[in-house]
Structure 1
Amino acid sequence: MLGVPLDLGQNRRGVDMGPSAIRYAGVRERLEALGYNVCDHGDLTVPDRYEQEPEDDLKHLNAVVETNRTLAKKMEDIASGESIPLVFGGDHSIAIGSLAGITRHYQNLGVIWYDAHGDLNTVETSPSGNIHGMPLAVSLGLGHKSLTGIIGQKRAIKPENIVIIGARALDDAEKALIQKHNIKVFTMHEVDRLGMSEVINQTITHLKDCDGIHVSLDLDGLDPIDAPGVGTPVVGGLSYRESHLAMEMLEETGNITSCEFVEVNPILDEQNKTAEAAVALIGSLFGEKIR
């Protein structure tokens, strides 16, 4: 386990306390009860937030780059020890570092992006300059060179190896990029029509040639009723029950090699409800069953 208390990829305070909230909700105890040998690497040191002008129209660019470069090296080290890296955010910009590091161990890594948003903006298309809306684009080699070159590589993942699940807030530029690169997306429309079971079956089929799969789960992928403690909630999201089914089916494949759970914001939460949901979903992704 590794915490990355980064809140510089977006504007709202509190998401830096996400790793602490997830630990407080009992994630270690849950995993140990499932028989895992858990090593907690603590939290990465993140630069302090301070008022500054955007750099190249991107907010806190240098601090986000510094944190993700450190995270990439840490992920590479953890994976080289044949462990399963489990990362707690922090905002979703940390996926830049986690993917940059983990891909060093795979030739054809698949990525499941469980999120209300596509996070496919670049400096040219972002309406806000917030880097947490860019990590998937960056991992495709699109965006500011400081971000795409975190560990000296142009592209961490291939567009054909991405599946986005739960999307319901896509910018026009993101839609265009999805079309251009033929990225597989299950919007809430598809989830409702097909059902989560079929969505995951199709996801598994789509990623069948991948030699590992990274799950990047943003808690705003869930409906705000089930996960109120997030910075950018979008109504009409994935249910708690659907999400458990998704995690259980993914665990059954035996192909999940790394994961991250991000955007838990205790300041906006209700009695740690969102962190507890994250821990419950982590349990399902790591093999917890009702019977």
Structure 2
Amino acid sequence: MNRLPNKMSKAKIKLIEVPSDLAGAKSGASMGINALKLSSLHDGSKYFEDFPSVVIQDENRAVYDGTPHTCAKYIDKVALVIERVAEEVKKTKEQALFPIVMAGDHSTCAGTMLGLKMAYPHDRIGVVYIDAHADFHTPFTSPSGNMHGMPLAIATDLDNQEVAIQTPSVAERAHWDALKSLAGTRAIDPRDIVFCALRDYEPAEAHLLEQYGIKNYSTSKITYEGVKKVVENIFEDLAHCDHIYVSFDVDSIDPLYIPGTGTPSDGGISFEQALQLNMELIKNPKVCCWESAEINPILDKQNISGKYSFVILDEVTKSLIENY
């Protein structure tokens, strides 16, 4: 099993920027990374000078041409970005670097999970998914067709046809099947997923959560039990996994703190809880990748979401360096 050296250093961290918002419900998430950079600049931080970075080519201009696909909108273009992310994450792990991924819409985290599986083909990868939404829809079940709601179904190779509401076209199905098989095998076992702050999902997704016994540490549970206890429980839940991937969608935080996101949902965790949660999770040496997504400056108020999100990014990075 590949492991990073015991002592993390700045030289062992690589930033992967994914400025894509084609799969989201609203445009603007592609600018979230610039909001982080602006916040860094205002804080007098040299964060984005301290680490090597790579920018993944996006396909955002496709929005001007429209898409013939309705069950999985822009799937042909979204698939290209997911494939690029997967290859970059795989390469980053092969270089013995720790990837910190900053994404626009959350669809591209499918590429992160696929890339991790490509890097660790024989290992079991656990997922801590901090998100208001389940992101377990498929082209067979999604009422909107927006692919930022489908990354976990891609990574777990699930169609969920038993509760289908529609039939994807031949072309959509071909792209979908190719995406799910990109790593050569299922990237993530659905039983190896743990949610935090999940609260906004639909019956088709609930079907999968129940079928596979997927745990959710709700906002109330995090509040009543405390972040450290919840993190201890999460690591017990995923103790059988060789590696752990942490995916942080900013809409897990209540819109009172993070208004600048495409699909806000009331009843989320506080900024302080999100900060502590991510800082505690990153301390575990099994964590092999950390990702944040879904900042939308167009919907923000005076870049408050960018400011809070940069604090989390910066502190998580510091915790990563200090605890390895």
Give TM-score, length-normalised by structure 2: 0.82
Q: Does 2:175 align with 1:162?
A: no
Q: Contact 2:115/2:183 (CA < 8 Å) preserved in 1? A: no
Q: 2:228 is matched with which residue?
A: 197
Given the alignment of the two structures, is residue 230 of structure 1 paired with residue 261 of structure 2, yes or no?
yes
**Identity over aligned pairs, percent:** 29
Which of these residues, 36, 53, 61, is aligned with residue 75 of structure 2?
A: 61
Return 5+ residue gaps in structure 1 as ranges. Answer: none
Among residues 52, 65, 69, which one is paired with 1:39 in the alignment? Answer: 52
Letter in 2 for 1:186: Y
Q: Is the 8 A contact 2:47 2:314 kept in 1?
A: no
Assess, with a 3 A threshold, how the Cα gap between structure 1 residues 172 and 31 changes in structure 2: closer, same or farther: farther
- CA deviation after TM superposition for structure 1 residue 32, in Å: 5.1
- Is the 2:136–2:151 contact (alpha carbons within 8 Å) kept by the matching residues of 1? yes
> What are the ranges of 5 or more consecutive residues in structure 2 without an aligned counterpart?
1-14, 160-172
CA distance in 2: counterparts of 1:109 and 1:124, whole angstroms: 26
State the distance in 2 between where 1:42 and 1:7 align. 14
Deviation of 1:31 (Å)? 7.7
Q: Take 1:270 and 1:193, find their aligned partners in 2: how far apart are those partners?
A: 30
Query: Which stretch of the first structure deviates more once superposed, 247-256 or 219-228?
Result: 247-256
Q: Over residues 147-200 of structure 1, what are the superposed CA-to-partner deviations in whole Å (9 max), with x where a residue is unaligned?
A: 453325341111221111001101111111101011122222432443322221
Structure 1 residue 177 corresponds to structure 2 residue 183: no
Specify the code of the residue in structure 2 equivalent to 1:149. A
Name the Cα RMSD after superposition. Answer: 2.4
Give the match for residue 127 of structure 1: 143
**Aligned counterpart for 2:280 among listed residues 249, 263, 267:** 249
CA distance in 2: counterparts of 1:103 and 1:181, whole angstroms: 20
Distance 1:154 1:104, change over 3 A: closer
| CA distance, structure 2, for counterparts of residue 31 and residue 109 of structure 1 | 32
* Alignment match of 1:100 (pick from 101, 114, 123): 114
* Cα contact 2:132–2:200 (8 A) shared by 1: yes
How much does 1:54 deviate? 4.0
Matched, 1:209 2:225: no
1:14 equivalent in alignment to 2:43: no
- For residues 96 and 261 of structure 1, the distance between their equivalents in structure 2, rounded to whole angstroms, comes to 13
Q: Any conservation in 2 of the 1:219–1:263 contact (CA below 8 Å)?
A: yes
Q: Deviations over 1:252-283 (max 9, x none)?
A: 22322112110010111112211222221122
Post-superposition, which runs of at least 4 consecutive aligned residues in structure 1 deviate over 4 A?
27-33
Structure 1 pair 242/145, CA: closer, same or farther in 2 (3 Å)?
farther
Give the structure with higher Rg (CA).
2
- Name the CA distance, whole Å, in 2 between partners of 1:133 and 1:182: 20
- Which residue does 2:6 correspond to in 1? none
Shift of 1:56: 5.6
Opposite residue 46 of structure 1, the aligned amino acid is E
The aligned residue for residue 78 of structure 1 is: 92
User: Within 2, Cα distance between the matches of 1:97 and 1:148?
Assistant: 14
